[in-house]
């Protein structure tokens, strides 16, 4: 067989293999979407049925607490009520997670400055004390980078990723948030990065298969690349897909609902993006998110966004370690 014909046959076979892979991927995504839609409807129903009696329980606990005196004889009943409140609060968090997961896609998206959302979420979690023993390093863009969606949803995404990282590190370690604007063609090229210790030199990584599949279905010219990495134990390859499934968790019984990353995946879908997890250079998990970039708000809206960015803490302050 002539060399030219052999190459043509090889190219046809390679194209056919790619088409089969694409069909399988599309079929898997369709099955997953149908499954998640069914789970979302179930979650909304369960949350409603649990939420009503839970509200009554918490109301009665509050009334009982008010009727008890703060003396030695009432100490044990008050401790029992406190335990009941803690467990009821845990159920309430589960209900809120179910409602967040089942919430329908927002009807009116607007441009959102990713940099501003990241900083506000870090400040929020610092105020709540969740980052007391965590060093947060922000490697953000010099210019505002906007995506289309609801700000509350993007805040929820980052809060869930940060809390997931904190839990994985048992409350102490390092979180790194990297944000950059990428041209479409650069995502098809191998990535070169240095190790965390920067002692092994540059390491070349092939283009992400997940990113390639996402690019094949989207025509975005510019893309926001977001990485949230931590210094925890990481995620094993066999769990890299399952961790985004509703109610799947690697945490001990009673410590997690399995909804945090499922909500992240749902929000990413609403933003027409994609998300996956790999091993971070910090040694833990690195969650990668791609979003299509949209135009910045014009006129007064844009000026207000820029004013807000100047009012947010600087990157150096955000990197300050907490003892």
DSSP characters for 185-227?
GGGGS-EEEE-TTS-S-EEEEPPPHHHHHHHHT---SEEEEEE
Place 71 in a pLDDT band, splitting at 50, 70 and 90. low
Question: Which pLDDT score is estimated for 216?
Answer: 81
Percentage of the chain with pLDDT > 70? Answer: 71
Q: Extract the tokens encoding 258.
A: 């399995």
3-class state of residue 214 by DSSP: helix
pLDDT at 288: 94
**Is the distance from CB of 227 to CB of 176 less than 8 angstroms?**
yes
Separation between Cα atoms, residue 149 and residue 147, nearest integer Å: 7
pLDDT score of 4 more than 80: no
- Region 58-67: mean pLDDT is 83
With pLDDT > 90 as the criterion, what percentage of the chain qualifies? 28
Give tens-digit pLDDT for 272-306. 999 999 988 777 999 999 999 999 887 645 554 55
Q: Which of 64, 109, 119 is nearest to 88 (CA)?
A: 64
Mean pLDDT, the chain, whole residue set:
78
The mean-pLDDT minimum among 30-39, 194-203, 210-219, 234-243 falls in 194-203
pLDDT of residue 68: 80
318, pLDDT greater than 60: no
Find the range with the poorest average confidence among 22-36, 103-117, 232-246.
Answer: 22-36
Q: Is 155 exposed, middle or buried (0-12, 13-18, 19+ CB in 10 A)?
A: middle
Give the pLDDT band of residue 2 (cuts 50, 70, 90).
low
pTM of the predicted protein model:
0.68
The whole-number average pLDDT for the span 36-65 is: 76
Q: Phi first, then psi: what are they for 143, rounded to 5°?
A: -105, 150
């Amino acid at each position: 067989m002539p060399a030219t014909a052999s190459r043509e046959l090889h190219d046809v076979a390679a194209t056919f293999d790619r088409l089969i892979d694409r069909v399988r991927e599309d079929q898997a995504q369709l099955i997953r979407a149908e499954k998640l839609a069914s789970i979302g409807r179930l979650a909304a129903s369960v949350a409603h049925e649990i939420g009503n009696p839970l509200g009554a329980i918490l109301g009665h606990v509050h009334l009982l607490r008010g009727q008890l005196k703060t003396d030695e004889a009432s100490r044990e009943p008050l401790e029992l009520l406190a335990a009941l409140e803690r467990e009821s609060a845990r159920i309430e968090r589960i209900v809120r997670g179910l409602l967040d997961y089942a919430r329908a896609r927002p009807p009116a998206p607007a441009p959102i400055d990713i940099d501003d959302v990241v900083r506000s979420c870090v400040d929020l979690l610092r105020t709540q004390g969740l980052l007391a023993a965590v060093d947060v390093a922000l490697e953000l863009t010099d210019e505002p980078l906007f995506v289309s969606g609801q700000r509350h949803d993007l805040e929820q995404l980052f809060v869930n990723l940060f809390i997931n990282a904190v839990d994985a590190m048992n409350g102490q370690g390092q979180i790194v948030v990297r944000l950059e604007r990428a041209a479409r063609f650069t995502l098809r090229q191998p990535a070169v990065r240095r190790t965390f210790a920067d002692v092994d030199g540059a390491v070349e990584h092939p283009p992400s298969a997940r990113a390639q599949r996402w690019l094949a279905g989207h025509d975005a010219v510019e893309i926001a690349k977001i990485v949230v990495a931590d210094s925890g134990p990481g995620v094993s390859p066999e769990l890299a897909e399952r961790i985004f499934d509703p109610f799947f968790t690697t945490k001990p019984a009673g410590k997690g609902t399995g909804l945090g990353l499922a909500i992240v995946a749902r929000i990413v879908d609403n933003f027409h993006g994609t998300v996956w997890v790999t091993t971070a250079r910090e040694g833990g998990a690195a969650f990668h998110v791609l979003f299509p970039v949209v135009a910045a708000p014009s006129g007064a809206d844009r000026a207000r966004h820029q004013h807000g960015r100047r009012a947010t803490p600087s990157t150096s302050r955000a990197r300050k370690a907490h003892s």
